[in-house]
Amino acid sequence: MPANNYYQQLCENGYVVVPLLTTLDKVRFRRDAVLDAVRQMPEFTPEAHKAYKYVGGSFGALGNPSSFHLPPVNELRNMLWDKCIVPTFAGTSSTFENAMIQTPFDRLSVRPAGTKIPGESWHRDISPDRDVRIVYGGWINLNTEPESFVCVAKSHNYTGDASGCVRDFTSQEIASFRTTKTKVRIDPGHWIIFHQTIIHSIAAQTVPKDSPLPRLRLYTSVCVGEPLFVERTRHALDTLDIPLIPSGQEPRMVPKLYAVNHQRLWVEFSSYIADDPDSDENSLLSERTMKIGTHRVVRPVLRDCFDKSKLIERFGDISYTECERERFLGEISLRSLASSPIRQI
């Protein structure tokens, strides 16, 4: 598809799939580079790296600080900007005056063999302050098998005033979604971008137990209009700390329900954390008294407790360039993309 048609399809259908890595060899190369870096994340024990166990629960989206700043992950973000985002949005306009374009931080997902991912019913994801920005979700498929996204095409023009995850559909509406749904194919190395307001569902799935490698995807976000979470993003760029994710939430190490219903799973997962017992300031664990007793467990949110020197020791200088900072902070005008060089896809 010609690059100037991507935005047209995104507007009309609410989603579009754009090629990024065009051969399986390129997919394998980038996947292996990301996994090699993941296995060096300093927050985890050798046992965690062997099992690819980096976050509690089954969703697999990582919440540890270093996962947001791994060099191969940032290389993929740069490629995505050059080869997909600029071609998609160059020459477009916005209803927002002086609109900026931003690519906020989002999470890396690592799902080990045997992981059972529960499904999600039909819903919309509604960002707050939609009167000042449009937020698009998506991900890069870093596996050698196709993935899919199930949605109701052209359902993204939401005019309600709700926010968050909206599921207030009637039984008749749900029945119609099942008959009109579209199963979008995302080939290896391809990027899907979609309006967050589009009606979509997630089917339950299981990573095969005999899979030699985990399933890998890099979640992405594009914001057009007023940028999101600028000061918090600046802090993450300067200190290599965790950012806010596009929903406005803190990235978590364990689901909230672990504190109530799955305390033993919380304790078990915490054994994978490489803690520094000699440093309270940089300790990733904290003592908690729970129904099952008192245990040192991983902090649910690892903010302002990570020694970034360990990350620099393993990967060298990983400070962000001025151009990268402008994209994360939303300091690039949408209009300026018209004069950006567009790389052939």
Tell me what pLDDT residue 304 has. Answer: 93
d(CA 257, CA 255): 5
Instruction: Tell me the C-alpha to C-alpha distance, in Å, between residue 34 and each of 24, 132, 189, 299, 335.
Output: 15, 35, 13, 25, 33
The total of other beta-carbon atoms located within 10 Å of residue 327's CB is: 20
Tell me what pLDDT residue 344 has. Answer: 40
d(CA 336, CA 147): 33
Tell me what pLDDT residue 4 has. Answer: 65
Where do we find the tokens 């939430």? Answer: 249
**C-alpha atoms less than 13 angstroms from C-alpha of 286 in its C-beta half-sphere:** 11
Residue 10 has pLDDT above 90, yes or no: yes
φ, ψ (nearest 5 deg) of residue 15 = -155, 160
Identity of residue 103: T
Pairing of strands 116-117, 133-141: unpaired
Kindly indicate the confidence band of residue 165, based on its pLDDT and cuts at 50, 70 and 90. Answer: confident
Question: Taking the model in full, what pTM does it have?
Answer: 0.94
Pairing of strands 182-186, 120-126: unpaired
Mean pLDDT of 196-213: 92
Tell me what pLDDT residue 341 has. Answer: 55
Residue 338 has pLDDT above 90, yes or no: no
Question: Residue 85 in contact with residue 103, Cβ under 8 Å?
Answer: yes
Query: Could you read off the pLDDT of 94-153 as tens digits, one per residue?
Result: 777 789 999 999 999 999 999 999 888 999 988 778 888 999 999 999 999 999 999 999
Bridge partners (DSSP) listed for residue 193: 16, 138
The total of other beta-carbon atoms located within 10 Å of residue 157's CB is: 10
Residue 2 has pLDDT above 60, yes or no: no
d(CA 101, CA 86): 10
Residue 19 has pLDDT above 90, yes or no: yes
Q: What is the separation of C-alpha 150 from the centre of its chain, rounded to a whole number of angstroms? A: 18
Tell me what pLDDT residue 126 has. Answer: 80
Tell me what pLDDT residue 340 has. Answer: 63
Query: Could you read off the pLDDT of 221-265 as tens digits, one per residue?
Result: 999 999 999 999 999 999 999 999 998 899 999 999 999 999 999
Tell me what pLDDT residue 345 has. Answer: 37
Tell me what pLDDT residue 94 has. Answer: 78
Bridge partners (DSSP) listed for residue 116: 206
Rounded to whole angstroms, the maximal C-alpha distance in the chain is: 61
For the chain, the three-class secondary structure string (H helix, E strand, C coil) is: CCHHHHHHHHHHHCEEEEECCCCHHHHHHHHHHHHHHHCCCCCECHHHHHHCCCCCCCCCECCCHHHHCCHHHHHHHHHHHHHHHHHHHCCCCCCCCCCEEECCCCCEEEECCCCEECCEEEEEEECCCCCCEEEEEEEEECCCCCEEEEECCCCCCCCCCCCEEECCCCHHHHHHHHHHCEEEEECCCEEEEEECCCCEEECCEECCCCCCCCEEEEEEEEEEECCCCHHHHHHHHHHCCCCCCCCCCCCCCCCHHHHCCCHHHHHHHHCCECCCCCCCCCCCEEEEEECCEEEEEECCCCCCCCCHHHHHHHHCCCCCCHHHHHHHHCCEEHHHHHHCCCCCC
**Domains by residue range for the chain, with CATH:** 3-253+301-329 (2.60.120.620)
Tell me what pLDDT residue 29 has. Answer: 98
Residue 13 has pLDDT above 50, yes or no: yes
Tell me what pLDDT residue 51 has. Answer: 96
Kindly report the average pLDDT of the chain as a whole number.
92
Query: Could you read off the pLDDT of 262-278 as tens digits, one per residue?
Result: 999 999 999 999 976 66
